[in-house]
């Protein structure tokens, strides 16, 4: 059920029992070395510096990361077993990526594991109580200097941090139910109820702020390490945020809610290449008139915060800034939706006016109309080209490399695509023939053929997922659009990228001047 063998489950259960018997007040977090043994799993962020060193050696200039926020779209199984999906929260960092040895107490948090797929339920179950324990220790034991740095963090991030921390504390109080199932005075944020919640939950809310402080401290350290070596990090801004999020609870006026805070319309995309019934995402949609009346303050703060975490930010579902697919709340598929115009042009103007140069990428895939192209080009934003889309029989296919311009980014495939090796095995015969006619690849090493083709284009940036560098198959694809569970679990293990991979990638990088 957890994706690990029964022995580890038994060991985990025993470790928890042992830990309960150990007086943690006496032994502190060092007791966890005895209690946990080798039960839990190494965090994803643990080896980021190693990855950055490898990227430096390969002369790579960009390192595209998975979204860093926790997902709230998937249904919670229980308190600790949360199914991980692509996130849509605004700024909150995913604390499951925290490196254990960099917490407040440096010893006793050694976690090991070699699973090729991330087991988020088990990680959450083991790690979250430890993070709360570390935050509690910080709250009562932090030095004056550490406390000063933390207070400055709270001041800098006040525009979202306090709302978020109260939201999480109230959610915990309400047994993790979504906010629209809370008592009505909490759901509708009556001022008297909010004041009472702050009085009751102030300490627990601060623990959530401290854990975010841990995350930001570690992540910005990793980013600094990368930037000092000439490596830039790309992050994502999902266009929409989760319904069950602090943003939706605290800022209901900027969403299309009725008087009871139920969505009137929800987000999705119409039927396309990925799904015959479209994709019903279910996120609340923006009230663009209200956003416009505020000068797009919420969006400006969101982009500014993400550009602090990343060097370049990709706006997912960029076409939704021109017009978006709105599905009536309660529909079971996205088929019965309609296009509604957005105010993306005014929003990007407001962001550019305050922040200056827009270090943004437009994810311009899907149903792209002339107004989307105009919005992207008018703001000088690079779009995306996907090689896996280049080899259908259409004569006007603008994913074919000879149509590219400098101001675009070419991917062998994205997180939503199959791996290149997986695509090759499942592609239609006519598509394979089109590929052969186009560039006569070495089909025994199809992944390297695609990487070589991407690197050879005029596109300003070329990106290949780690799965393609390794030549992995469908079983290692990151995501399958329209499938809410079972994905976003593949992980790169230490040692998988070898000197052979490094030399081949470095060779192509030199040949094509990247």
Exposed, middle or buried: residue 406 (CB in 10 Å: 0-12, 13-18, 19+)? exposed
CATH number of 145's domain: 3.20.20.80
Q: Is residue 36 within 8 Å of residue 107, measured between CB atoms?
A: no
CA distance 460 to 385: 11
In-domain check, residue 341: no
Q: What pLDDT, on the 0 to 100 scale, is given for residue 483? A: 78
CA distance 199 to 184: 19
The model carries a pTM of: 0.81
For 102, the domain range is: 1-46+94-233
Closest to 137 (Cα-Cα) out of 158, 171, 108? 108
The CA-CA-CA angle for residues 109, 84, 101, to 5°, reads 15
Between the alpha carbon of residue 373 and those of residues 333, 363, 384, the distances in Å are 28, 11, 12
Place of tokens 């592609």: 427
Phi-psi sector, 327: left (phi>0), alpha (psi -120 to 50), beta? beta
Closest to 384 (Cα-Cα) out of 408, 402, 360, 366? 408
Q: What pLDDT, on the 0 to 100 scale, is given for residue 292? A: 98
Distance of CA 362 to the CA centre of its chain: 16
In-domain check, residue 220: yes
Concerning whether 258 is annotated as a catalytic residue, the answer is no
CA distance 395 to 188: 54
**Catalytic hit among 36, 87, 416, 468:** 416
Q: What pLDDT, on the 0 to 100 scale, is given for residue 396? A: 82
Token output for 321: 């800034």
**Catalytic hit among 118, 236, 363, 431:** 363
CB contact burial 93-124 (16+ within 10 A = b; e otherwise):
bbbbbbbbeebbbeebbebebeeeebbbbbbb
Q: What count of other Cβ atoms lies within 10 Å of the Cβ of residue 448? A: 21
In-domain check, residue 222: yes
Q: What pLDDT, on the 0 to 100 scale, is given for residue 27? A: 39
Q: What pLDDT, on the 0 to 100 scale, is given for residue 112? A: 45
Q: What pLDDT, on the 0 to 100 scale, is given for residue 248? A: 98
Half-sphere exposure of 452 (CA within 13 A, CB side): 13
**Catalytic hit among 316, 364, 418, 468:** 316
Q: What pLDDT, on the 0 to 100 scale, is given for residue 10? A: 55
In-domain check, residue 221: yes
Concerning whether 363 is annotated as a catalytic residue, the answer is yes
CB contact burial 384-401 (16+ within 10 A = b; e otherwise):
bbbbbbbbbeeeeeebbb
CA distance 260 to 264: 10
- What does each of the 514 residues of the chain score in pLDDT, given as a tens digit? 334 455 455 555 555 555 555 444 433 444 444 444 333 333 333 346 666 666 565 544 444 544 444 332 232 223 223 333 334 356 677 766 666 544 444 333 444 445 666 666 677 778 888 899 999 999 999 989 999 999 999 999 999 999 999 999 999 999 999 999 999 999 999 999 999 999 999 999 999 999 999 999 999 999 999 999 999 999 999 999 999 999 999 999 999 999 999 999 999 999 877 688 998 999 999 999 999 999 999 999 999 999 999 999 999 999 999 999 999 999 999 999 999 999 999 999 999 999 999 999 999 998 899 999 999 999 999 999 999 999 987 778 999 999 999 999 999 999 999 999 999 999 999 999 999 999 999 999 999 999 999 999 999 999 999 999 999 999 999 999 877 778 888 999 999 999 999 999 999 999 999 9
Closest to 455 (Cα-Cα) out of 408, 407, 412, 416? 412
In-domain check, residue 136: yes
Strand segments (E) across 356-469: 360-362, 383-386, 408-411, 461-463
Q: Is residue 267 within 8 Å of residue 282, measured between CB atoms?
A: yes
In-domain check, residue 283: no
Phi-psi sector, 436: left (phi>0), alpha (psi -120 to 50), beta? alpha
Residue 244 phi, psi dihedral angles, 5° rounding: -85, 75
Closest to 156 (Cα-Cα) out of 220, 96, 246? 220
In-domain check, residue 36: yes
Concerning whether 444 is annotated as a catalytic residue, the answer is no
In-domain check, residue 241: no
Look at the chain and report how many structural domains it folds into: 1
Pairing of strands 360-362, 338-341: unpaired
């Amino acid at each position: 059920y957890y994706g690990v063998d029964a022995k580890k489950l038994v060991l985990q259960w025993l470790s928890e029992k042992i830990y309960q018997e150990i007086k943690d007040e006496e032994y502190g977090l060092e007791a966890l070395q005895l209690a946990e043994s080798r039960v839990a799993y190494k965090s994803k962020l643990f080896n980021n510096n190693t990855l950055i060193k490898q990227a430096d050696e390969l002369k790579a200039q960009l390192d595209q990361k998975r979204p860093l926020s926790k997902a709230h779209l998937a249904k919670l199984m229980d308190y600790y077993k949360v199914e991980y999906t692509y996130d849509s929260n605004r700024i909150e960092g995913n604390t499951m990526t925290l490196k254990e040895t960099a917490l407040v107490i440096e010893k006793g948090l050694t976690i090991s594991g070699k699973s090729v797929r991330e087991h988020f339920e088990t990680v959450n179950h083991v790690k979250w109580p430890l993070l709360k324990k570390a935050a509690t220790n910080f709250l009562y034991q932090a030095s004056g200097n550490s406390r000063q740095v933390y207070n400055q963090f709270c001041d800098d991030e006040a525009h979202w941090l306090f709302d978020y921390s109260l939201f999480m504390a109230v959610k915990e109080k309400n047994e993790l139910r979504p906010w629209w199932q809370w008592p009505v005075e909490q759901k509708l944020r009556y001022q008297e109820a909010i004041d009472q919640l702050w009085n009751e939950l102030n300490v627990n809310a601060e623990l959530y702020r401290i854990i975010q402080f841990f995350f930001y401290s570690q992540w910005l350290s990793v980013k600094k390490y990368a930037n000092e070596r000439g490596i830039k990090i790309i992050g994502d801004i999902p266009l929409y945020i989760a319904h069950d999020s602090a943003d939706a609870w605290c800022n209901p006026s900027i969403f299309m809610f009725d008087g009871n805070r139920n969505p009137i319309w929800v987000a999705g995309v119409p039927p396309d290449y990925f799904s015959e019934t479209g994709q019903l995402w279910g996120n609340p949609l923006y009230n663009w008139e209200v956003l416009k009346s505020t000068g797009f303050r919420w969006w400006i703060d969101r982009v500014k915060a993400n550009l602090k975490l990343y060097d370049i930010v990709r706006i997912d579902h960029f076409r939704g800034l021109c017009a978006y697919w709105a599905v009536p709340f309660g529909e079971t598929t996205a088929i019965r939706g309609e296009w509604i115009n957005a105010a993306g042009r005014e929003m990007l103007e407001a962001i550019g006016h305050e922040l200056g140069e827009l270090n943004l990428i437009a994810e311009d895939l899907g149903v792209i109309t002339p107004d989307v192209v105009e919005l992207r080009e008018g703001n000088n934003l690079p779009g995306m080209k996907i090689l896996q889309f280049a080899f259908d029989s259409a004569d006007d296919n603008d994913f074919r490399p000879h149509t590219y311009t400098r101001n675009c980014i070419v991917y062998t495939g994205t997180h939503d695509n199959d791996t290149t090796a997986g695509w090759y095995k499942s592609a239609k015969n006519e598509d394979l023939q089109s590929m052969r006619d186009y560039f006569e690849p070495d089909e025994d090493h199809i992944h390297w053929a695609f990487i070589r083709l991407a690197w050879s284009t005029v596109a300003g940036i070329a990106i290949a997922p780690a799965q393609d560098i390794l030549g992995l198959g469908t079983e290692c694809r990151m995501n399958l659009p329209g499938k809410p569970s079972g994905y976003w679990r593949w992980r790169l293990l230490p040692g998988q990228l070898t000197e052979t991979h490094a030399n081949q990638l470095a060779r192509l990088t030199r040949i094509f001047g990247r």
